[in-house]
A and B are shown apart, each in its own frame.
Chain A
Amino acid sequence: MLKKAMVLALLLAVLLPVTLLWAGGEKESSNLFVIITPDKDNTFFTAEANAAKVKAESLGYETLLMVHGDSPQKESELIDLAISKKAAAIIIDIANADASPANLQKAKDAGIPVACMDREVNTAGIAISQTISNNFQGAKLGAEKFVELMGEKGNYVELVGKESDTNAGVRSKGFHNIIDQYPDIKMVARQTANWSQTEGYSVIESVLQAHPEVNGIICGNDTMALGAQAAIESAGRSDIIVMGFDGNDNVLDSIMQGKIDGTVMQPNALNAEMAVELADKYIKTGSTGKSEEKILNNCFLITPENANQWRGFTKIK
């Protein structure tokens, strides 16, 4: 009896580490690209997810699309799921600059390459690549045009995005980097509208009542610009310059109709396609072939002259 127990325990003692070694060691990965984005209601993120999906499938991978809703906790669960599915790669637009690196590290430790798109991770060496829109360059580009359209003078309102999103701050800094160099342009209000069209509408509605002298509105994204433009129209005004940021199709239409004056096109689809291509190259060759982890893709200025050249964040070929 005692001997049997001894043998059993001995067997367990030997087998346990062996099993663990086997489980933690080389494992065969699937043909699956897990694509994680923030939101499935925002056209910006759906376009991004779709561009990644199409590119991955064209390279012969299966795809699984999921959203984290800007929650690092949810993101962590999705990454665990991707690990359990032995994903070949994870293509992700992260939830949060501070919390996400730890989530991504889990995938890296499990041997799954992670390619980031759109939002930037400050910690280097976790992702195999980060394909990012140059938000600061884009914001400067938009602000330069805004200043020019205002004739380098006047009174303006800034609509800021969601404070928790790094890009809201980056774009705002880019705007001010340019506009603050023009002493004849004064900011009469700076308010957040949380990336939201309805909030953009209500903020501008009340600002215009308090400050009828406003002749320019610069917005941290396109949905807020659409709200601002609607408020301008219902106030019966047509003399106010509106500048957006993102390049979504509704704003392109508005620009072509002569309403919104301009926006900044993010190379959103390009970021997603590059992320997939780099992950594919990494899987096949062990390297992305790029000298840098972070790849900044420049934004483009959109005005009535070129608004018809873009659709779905992609330049029409």
Chain B
Amino acid sequence: MRKGQTRIGWLVITLLLIFALVLTACTIRKIDDNADKKSDMYATWEKTGTGFDSVKYVDANWESKIIPAFINDSTEISLVLKGLTADLNSAIKKFGYRKEEDSVETFFKVKGLGRVLTYNDSSRIGLLEIDLEPADGTVDVFIQVGPVLKRTEIRDSLSFIKFTDVGNQLQFASLSDELNKRVLDYTLKEINLPGAVGKTIEFYGVFSIDSENIDMEKIIITPVIVKNVN
């Protein structure tokens, strides 16, 4: 009887020791309740493995999301320009988009009608010089038409594109390159640039300003839609 009790006692102790050892091997972690949300967020992107495929992404979104964003959200450019001259800060609030509230760079999605005064191809960053309606014969804005497109304004003006979702800097840059490439391959392909001089065009696009260093004489628009009106 006494011997049996001892045996049971040791058994209990052994079990407890095993329990203790098992616990030692455990780390206590909080369950990540954001895990589902994160995978959902990524699921909205066309991802191949860990790499982001910018071509696939733009293929999937150019017609369905990107073009509509410009058609729906663009403000008449003359209104934006007037606003910026009259009261910079309230125009930024009213018409502009910023990635972060305190950033100096603001993006304006704009649309307008204007006459092409000249096609300046002295640099590979070719420019159309535009006299906005109502026409007065002077250049109001520029539209960059390639073959080199500067800047990343299309990518940066779209609120649904988030850097963290896309991945690293290179992937993020490749997305902008691909968006700009669409502008060259689709938007501008149909336009006879030298032939556009003297004609009126309708455009949708984006320009950005650095609120600490603004040059109203040199507003350059990256186009997303360009149409010959006559």
Contacts and interface: CB of A to CB of B under 8 A. Distances in A.
Nearest to A2: B6
A84 interface: no
Contacts of B168: 120, 122
Interface stretch (A16-24, A44-52, A203-211, A242-250): A16-24
Interface residues of B, number: 37
A204 to B, nearest CB: 27
Interface in A1-32: 2, 6, 9-10, 12-14, 16-17, 20-21, 24-25
Given A2-B6, A13-B17, A152-B124, A298 B105 contact: yes
A170 B170 contact: yes
Interface in B9-55: 9-10, 12-13, 16-17, 19-20, 23-24, 27-29, 32, 34, 38, 50
A181 B147 CA distance: 8
Contacts of A174: 173
A173 B173 contact: yes
Interface stretch (A33-41, A130-138, A214-222, A229-237): A130-138
Interface of B: 6, 9-10, 12-13, 16-17, 19-20, 23-24, 27-29, 32, 34, 38, 50, 100, 103, 105, 123-124, 147-148, 150, 152, 162-164, 167-170, 172-173, 177
A109 interface: yes
Interface stretch (A65-73, A75-83, A189-197, A287-295): A287-295
A292 B161 CA distance: 11
A17 B148 contact: no
B25 to A, nearest CB: 10
A6 B124 contact: no
B38 A10 contact: no
A75 to B, nearest CB: 20
Chain A interface extent, by class: 35 or more
B16 A10 contact: yes
Interface of A: 2, 6, 9-10, 12-14, 16-17, 20-21, 24-25, 109, 120, 122, 124-125, 132, 134-137, 140, 144, 148, 152, 170, 173-174, 177-178, 181-182, 290-296, 298
B13 A9 contact: yes
Contacts of A10: 12-13, 16
Nearest to A291: B162
A169 B13 CA distance: 60
Chain A CB within 10 Å, residue with most, of B124, B167, B173:
B173
Nearest to B29: A109
A66 to B, nearest CB: 25
Contact of A20 (B13, B24, B147, B163): B24
Contacts of A125: 32, 34, 38
27 contacts: A2-B6, A10-B16, A12-B20, A14-B16, A16-B24, A17-B23, A17-B24, A20-B23, A21-B23, A24-B28, A109-B29, A122-B50, A124-B164, A125-B34, A132-B169, A136-B172, A136-B173, A152-B123, A173-B170, A181-B147, A182-B124, A291-B162, A292-B162, A292-B164, A295-B100, A298-B103, A298-B105
